Each structure stands twice: as structure tokens, then as C-alpha cells.
Amino acid sequence: MDASAATVTPTVSDAPITTNFFAPTGRPGADDVSSEPAPDDLAAQPVPERSREIVFEVSGLSVHYGQSLAIDNVSLEVGANEITAFIGPSGCGKTTVLRCLNRMHDLTPGARVGGSVHYHGEDLYAPKVDPAEVRRRIGMVFQRPNPFPKSIYDNVAYGPKINREKGKLDDIIERALTRAALWDEVKDQLKKSALSLSGGQQQRLCIARALAVQPDVLLMDEPCSALDPIATSRIEDLMAELKRDYTIVIVTHNMQQAARVSDMTAFFTAELDDAGQRHGELVEYDKTELMFTSPSDSRTEGYITGRFG
Ligand SMILES: Nc1ncnc2c1ncn2[C@@H]1O[C@H](COP(=O)(O)OP(=O)(O)OP(=O)(O)O)[C@@H](O)[C@H]1O
Ligand SMILES: [Mg+2]
């Protein structure tokens, strides 16, 4: 498991929200009755495509670890209520890019982030932004389930328990476990240690823990790689369900999984630069269907058909 994973858990900040970027943006024009055409004009109006709400706008992103450039010049947009998959060979920088989306690199010694990440139109890295609030709104689920050595209840209660009465907390916990498709399996044993759960149950518990602080986005770094096919399939079903209310970005090495669950796919690879140093780049980003049927770059095709990587 990633060494820093254990230190980063969903937390609730007492700090005031220092920007308005967490306010719901809504879809432009959705409630704008006054701009609707009169009935007589309707036939003449083209049907407008529902605009895609952008949650993350990543532009010219680079990350250095010390002197070493890990990823360079990554630009992409992540749409609301979509599942976006990051794929590519080991070491190409998928995790590095994912961690830029909730400022996890603030916690990595020597890591330096360049370029920009906007979240609902606001600069995520602006000095006024509270990183703890960022990580509450943008939760993370790791490769290996990492429940705390506490009860099932206390794992989910960990984030929201500050300033809550017990009754309210019980509701929050039931709701989060239900949303994570775990409630029916654990409702009679909430005081049992989380470590007594199976791997797949532990991963759903970690998802419940992330959901309990009411995030907007879930970042998932290979969430199924330690799970068997049945547990994997449950998490995939859960993701499809969750995307109605959340935006999800998932890193996966499983091509079938990316093809099955995601709306958009970003393919990264590591390229040698002129100095002989290897760094990750975004090769192609498009609708998943297109990426898997007619990718425009031969490197994407080579990877998804298993010719390299
Ligand atoms: N904390 C760190 N300190 C120094 N170098 C790092 C650190 N984390 C990642 N790197 C380097 O950055 C590059 C990209 O790593 P990253 O973990 O993002 O790749 P990945 O695509 O997620 O790989 P994998 O599929 O194996 O998880 C690699 O060369 C890696 O060695
Ligand atoms: Mg990784």
C-alpha cells in the first residue's frame, strides 16, 4: 500500500469554507424560464444539447518529485456525473495525476505541482483554498482497502462525528453504508472490527467512509486490484449507481473494467525525453467507446489491444 495512504483519510475541517467554489454550480440555463421560446417558436428551435458540466479543468499539469519530472503537460476536463478512467502502463503517472485532483501532493515531501487544476471553475491551488476542505469534497479510495483498526461504525463515523449528535450520526452511517451497498451485510454487527470483513467488504466500507463526509467527487486508485471477480463486479455496479450523484475518476489496469464502467478514458504513457529521462504524458483522452473502438493514436491502440504495456 502507498505509504501516505494511511495518513490521508476523509476528514471534516472546522475551517470555514474560504471560497465559493464548493457552491453547486447547476447547469447553465436549467432554471432559466424567461429565456424559453414561446410555444409557437418551438418547432423552429434546434434541440439544444445538454451542456456538459465540467468539474475539473486540468491544464498544462506537471509534477516533479525532487529534480525528476514525473508527468508533463497534461490537459483534460472531467465532466460531472461521469466516470473517467485513467489507463496506461505502470509508472506512466496515473496515480500522480489523480493525486493532483485533491491536492494530495501537498503531503508528499519533494513533490511540486505545475500548471493548473480548476475545480468548478476555481483554482484548486489558490492560496486561499483550504486543502482539508478540498479533501473532504474530493474523497479518495485506495488500491488496498485501508480501514482503521476500529469498529465498522467508527470507521464510517470518523469523518462526520465532529459536532454531530449521536442520532444524526446513526443516520449518516446507515445512509453511507447503504449507498456503499454494505448495509445489509453489516447492519447487525456495526460494533465488530472492520478488519474482520472480507477484502471486498472492506473496500466498500472505505467507500462508505469516503461518502459519509458528503463528497462531490470520488477518486479511486485501482480500487479493485486486490479483489476477486465477484467483489470487483459489486464495486463496478456500485460505481455505476454512484455516478448519478458523484463524479468518479478511477485508475485501472483492467482494460475490461475501463471499457465497462467509464464514460471517458485517458491513456497515459511514459516517454523518453531528449535527455534520456522518462516522464509520463497524456496520449489521448476521449469517450471510452471511441478509445476502445477507434483510438486516434497508434500507442493507445497498441496498449488496449495488449501489444505493449
Ligand atoms: N513519492 C514519490 N517520490 C518519488 N517518485 C515518485 C513518487 N511517486 C511516484 N514517483 C515516480 O513517478 C512516476 C509515476 O509514478 P505513478 O505512481 O504516478 O505511476 P502509475 O502510472 O500510477 O504506476 P502504477 O500503474 O504502477 O501504479 C514513476 O516514475 C514513479 O517512480
Ligand atoms: Mg499507480
The C-alpha cell of 72 is what? Answer: 508533463
Task: Measure CA of the first residue to CA of the last residue in the chain; give whole Å.
Answer: 22
The pick from 61, 62, 65 for probing ligand 1's pocket by mutation, whose C-beta has the most ligand atoms within 8 angstroms, reads: 65
Instruction: Quickly state the pLDDT bin for 164 (edges 50, 70, 90).
Output: low
- Identify the residue whose C-alpha is closest to ligand 1 atom 6: 65
The model's pTM: 0.85
Question: What's the pLDDT band for 165 if we cut at 50, 70, 90?
Answer: low
- Tally of CB atoms within 10 A around 21: 20
Q: What is the pLDDT of residue 110?
A: 96
pLDDT at 226: 87
C-alpha to C-alpha distance for 247 and 244, rounded to whole angstroms: 8
The Å distance, Cα 2 to ligand 2 centre, comes to: 9
For residue 94 and ligand 1, the question of a CB distance below 6 A is answered with: yes
- Which residue's CA lies nearest to atom 22 of ligand 1? 95
Best mutation site among 95, 220, 251, 281 for ligand 1 pocket (most ligand atoms within 8 Å of CB): 95
Whether the predicted pLDDT of 46 surpasses 70: no
- The number of the ligand 1 atom at minimal distance from the alpha carbon of 63 is 12
* Closest C-alpha residue for ligand 1 atom 5: 65
For 83, phi then psi, to 5°, come to -105, 120
CB-based burial of residue 224 (10 Å sphere; 0-12 exposed, 13-18 middle, 19+ buried)?
Answer: buried
Please give the pLDDT value at position 91: 95
Share of the chain above pLDDT 70, in %: 81
Predicted confidence (pLDDT) at residue 284 exceeds the cutoff of 80 = yes
Full DSSP string of 28-39: TTTT-GGGSPPG
Is ligand 1 within 6 A of the CB of residue 299? Answer: no
